[in-house]
Amino acid sequence: MSFKPYLQLYRSRQLFALTAIAALLKPFYRIAFLAGARESGLLEILSGKPMRLEQLAAGYCRDAKAREALAAWLELGVRLGQLQIGADGYALKGLAKKLAEPGNDAAMAMVEEVARLHYKLIADTPAKLRRGELWSMSDQDGELIARSSRILEAFQIEAIDRCFPVAGPVRLLEVGCGSGAYIRHAAIKNPTLTALGLELQPDVAEVARGNIAAWGLSERVRIEAGDIRSRTPDELFDVVTLYNNIYYFPVGERVALLRHLRSFVKPGGMLLATTCCHGGSVGVDVLNLWGAATVGCGPLPRVDEFVQQLREAGFAEAEAIHLSPGESFYAFKSR
């Protein structure tokens, strides 16, 4: 083997760039493979038992050329450390095996979100801005976002456990209820709690409605699709919550939104908001980019900024509670 080509690359100042890029490729390909395995159903198929190429081809391939392509895709999965091949066929390995477990669906959804949404957001935003365009809510997959947002569930539940009344009748309004998982937790925590979950995206509201029914909570919880800003305060609540969605509203409209939410709170009641704030991980920076680059949305708040907005909206108390060490995830409790 000759080292002459490497010397030439070094002299032309290309070697460092090529070496650095090569180190980035495998993690990128791994994320893409995992997302494809889940979306295609392969993750679920192989979570039961190993399968030979012929068995997989029966479900995926129409002809010999397709079989050839499937074999190449599976070989790539082996190379990336997500599949293994043995006497019984292909089986899941490593992170793929972990993500196939139902308890890791939020982490799997995050992988899909990075591969399907974050990639486009990062790669295409400058070109869209040059054309005078922004992203829209229709560019995101509401159901996928509802799944991936549960990655913060342990910290979110900590906020509910610290702030919600554990006994006595409680009427809850959850603005942006997502999958309904947090309503479920609050309802289990307090058996006398009743709730209205309001969700902006109708498809996500339908998912939440199905979940509430499956959990046996339909008599205590109702789910509606709609925008809180167009709703009149014809009923009052002990607790109003705004979880991980303040960035769905432009910065200039947030005080008016919070003031409007205050009109739904009974005297002595509470508003509980949670959100990632400026200063977190690179994933938080991507979320900040999404809010800043999407029509009708806005960047993430700073902690002191959001406390001030709550006070301007008329809340006498506004307390910031740091929920996640090492991450900029906060709860804001206001009365």
**Structural domains in the chain plus CATH codes:** 4-100 (1.10.10.10), 143-334 (3.40.50.150)
Backbone φ, ψ for residue 21 (5° rounding): -65, -40
Nearest residue to 170 via CA among 310, 273, 265, 274? 265
Partners of residue 275 on adjacent β-strands:
330
Paired tokens of 82: 């997500």
Task: Please check whether residue 306 is in contact with residue 292, taking contact to mean a CB–CB distance below 8 angstroms.
Answer: no
Nearest to 123 by CA among 114, 132, 112: 114
The low-confidence residues of the chain, meaning pLDDT below 70, are 1, 3, 6, 9-10
pTM value? 0.87
Pick the closest to residue 223 from 261, 266, 187 (CA basis).
Answer: 187
Q: Is the dihedral of CA 55, 58, 64, 67 positive or negative?
A: negative
Q: What percent of the chain has pLDDT over 70?
A: 99
Contacts of 26 (CB under 8 A, 6+ apart): 80
Buried b (16+ CB within 10 A) or exposed e, 229-266: eebeeeeebbbbbbbbbbbbbebeebbebbebbbebbe
Confidence (pLDDT) at 6: 63
- Show the DSSP H helices in the chain as ranges: 4-11, 15-39, 42-48, 53-60, 64-79, 94-99, 105-113, 119-130, 142-148, 153-163, 181-189, 202-214, 254-262, 282-292, 303-312
DSSP codes joined into one string, 163-209: HS-SSS-EEEEEES-TTSHHHHHHHHH-TTEEEEEEESSHHHHHHHH
Give the phi and the psi of residue 273 in degrees, each rounded to 5: -120, 140
pLDDT at 41: 95
Cβ 161 vs Cβ 186: under 8 Å = no
